[in-house]
Chains A and B, each alone.
Chain A
Amino acid sequence: QVQLQESGPGLVKPSGTLSLTCAVSGGSISSSNWWSWVRQPPGKGLEWIGEIYHSGSTNYNPSLKSRVTISVDKSKNQFSLKLSSVTAADTAVYYCARGNYLVGAIRAFDIWGQGTMVTVSS
Chain B
Amino acid sequence: DIQMTQSPSSLSASVGDRVTITCRASQSISSYLNWYQQKPGKAPKLLIYAASSLQSGVPSRFSGSGSGTDFTLTISSLQPEDFATYYCQQSYSTPPAITFGQGTRLEIK
- Give the interface segment out of B11-19, B20-28, B49-57, B72-80: B49-57
**B43 and A45 within 8 A (CB):** no
Q: Which residues of B contact A115 (CB under 8 A)?
A: 43
B83 at the interface (CB under 8 A from A): no
Most buried by B among A36, A51, A97, A109: A109
B56, closest chain A residue (CB): A110
Query: Which residues from chain B contact A66 at a C-beta distance below 8 Å?
Result: none
Given A106-B91, A109-B89; A45-B36 close (CB under 8 Å): no
State how many residues of chain A have any CB contact under 8 Å with chain B.
Answer: 25
> Which of A36, A102, A104, A113 touches B98 (beta carbons < 8 Å)?
A36
What is the CA–CA distance of A99 and B89 in the complex, to the nearest angstrom? 12
A114: interface (CB < 8 Å): yes
How many chain B residues touch the partner (CB < 8 A)?
Answer: 27
A59 on the B face (CB < 8 A): yes
The count of A-to-B residue pairs whose CB atoms sit within 8 angstroms is 70
Q: How far is the CA of A113 from the CA of B89 in the complex (A)?
A: 18
User: Do A109 and B44 touch (CB < 8 A)?
Assistant: yes
Contact with B along A85-118 (1 / 0, CB 8 A): 0000000000101010011101111101111000
Would you call B91 and A107 a contact (CB within 8 A)? yes
**What is the predominant secondary structure among interface residues of chain B facing chain A?**
loop
Q: Does A61 contact B (CB under 8 A)?
A: yes
The 20 sampled A-B contact pairs (Cβ below 8 Å) are A45-B100, A45-B101, A45-B102, A46-B44, A51-B98, A59-B96, A62-B97, A97-B43, A103-B49, A103-B53, A104-B50, A107-B91, A108-B50, A108-B55, A109-B46, A110-B55, A112-B43, A112-B44, A113-B43, A114-B43
Chain A positions within 8 Å of B, measured between CB atoms, are 34, 36, 45-48, 51, 59, 61-62, 95, 97, 99, 102-104, 106-110, 112-115
